[in-house]
Amino acid sequence: MYQHVLVAFGGVSPEHEVSVITAVQAASALKDSGLSLTPLYVSKSGRFLTGPQLLELESYKDLKTLEQQAVPCAFQTDALGRTVLSETRKGGLFSKPKVWPVDVVLVAFHGSEGENGAFQGLCEQYNLPYTGSGVMASSVGMDKRAAKVHAAACGVPVVEGLDFTEAEWAAGSEALLEKILALDTTVVVKPLRLGSSIGVEVVSGRDAIVRAVETGFRYDAHLLIEKAVRPLREVNCSVLGNAADAQASVCEQPKGSAELLSFQDKYMGDSGKGMASASRIIPAPIPEALTEAIQQASLRLFRELDASGVARFDFLVNDETGQFYFNEINTIPGSFSFYLWDKTGISFPQLMKKLLDIAVARHREKNGRVRSYETNLLSTKAVKGIKGLKGKG
């Protein structure tokens, strides 16, 4: 079993603050679990820090003081191959750096390196169990184009569109503009690898499109342009489990104040509450058949992607025709989508326990397979035959 949970959050991401909220919420859901929680806070500049105050929302009012008082740390593997979190600050002459045991990492980042597979890869490298999806599902989930290719391959409808890089735009913006104008009178411009609606714009007409494309390139070197779904209704569904055994939650209909859900709508409505505070209708007021189709599509996407833990699948529905389209995958959804599981019969503390159990079971499965190879191919005899080594020619 496991006892020591490392809660990893923050990160060099526009969703830094949202991640802090998710982590604090998760810690609070686990407060009666008997588990010991150690924070691993990645600051806005990318420093790894720890210290008990990092799981208190109050501490984040003054980030400067917070960073000064927190303890710099890093992963370290001991002689037995066990990974711990270790203090990296130099102590006194005879003082040993403090270390914290890690049985499982609770990954609570949103966006960028914390959600795109990079941090997941770090955990793999250190052979640590971690919650949520692995490297591949995380990377595909973060890239809107890759995610659409995946959805289409799963037979889930996607919105018609095109994508291009900044270099392609520089080389032939006129031809690309013609293609965009031929798509639809109103289109949506979005950076490929961001979240929280940053850089996403709904625009009509040549000038507005050019402006939105240029703005988009400030955020990402690769943009996706889609037909605008109108009249639009958004519906999201969460999936929990692993590829072999997954369940879908009730659906939600998030509500935006403007044409599209903005960062403001999603997170700033009721500060401190994260995604749970955004206004939404649960269950989404849509026909039963549509709910079922969206749940089935979400399960299919989750399984085929070999996702793990809790993910959220977002869809765009044409409210006139009832046609639904896959929009995006969130492999670490805001507040772990606990408000959807709550309404599906799984409480927030139960959800967190499940996430940790799944992480530990997946790690055990992986470690149960042969992963080390005793033969040393670089033993003297074998090396003799290799050309190009110094002195051997």
192 is a site residue for ligand ADP (CB under 6 A): no
Residue selected from 22, 50, 112, 197 as contacting ligand ADP according to rule CB under 6 A: 197
86 is a site residue for ligand ADP (CB under 6 A): no
Min CB(230)–ligand ADP separation in Å: 7
Min CB(92)–ligand ADP separation in Å: 48
**d(Cα 110, Cα 337) in Å, to the nearest integer?**
13
Stretch that binds ligand ADP, among 6-14, 45-53, 67-75, 186-194 (CB under 6 A): 186-194
CA 356: distance to chain centroid? 16
Q: Which 120-159 positions form the footprint of ligand ADP (CB under 6 A)?
A: 159
Nearer to ligand ADP, 126 or 219 (CB): 219
Stretch that binds ligand ADP, among 99-107, 171-179, 190-198, 333-341 (CB under 6 A): 190-198
Residue selected from 21, 102, 123, 228 as contacting ligand ADP according to rule CB under 6 A: 228
Min CB(257)–ligand ADP separation in Å: 11
229 is a site residue for ligand ADP (CB under 6 A): yes
Nearer to ligand ADP, 87 or 201 (CB): 201
CA 389: distance to chain centroid? 44
Q: Which 292-321 positions form the footprint of ligand ADP (CB under 6 A)?
A: 314, 316
Residue selected from 16, 110, 148, 190 as contacting ligand ADP according to rule CB under 6 A: 190
Beta bridge pairs of residue 325: 316
Residue selected from 120, 327, 331, 335 as contacting ligand ADP according to rule CB under 6 A: 327
Nearer to ligand ADP, 286 or 316 (CB): 316
- Pick from 189, 141, 199: nearest CA to 162: 189
117 is a site residue for ligand ADP (CB under 6 A): no
200 is a site residue for ligand ADP (CB under 6 A): yes
**d(Cα 82, Cα 323) in Å, to the nearest integer?**
51
Q: By the criterion CB under 6 A, which residues form the site for ligand ADP?
A: 159, 188, 190, 194-197, 200, 226, 228-229, 232, 234, 256, 260-261, 314, 316, 327-328
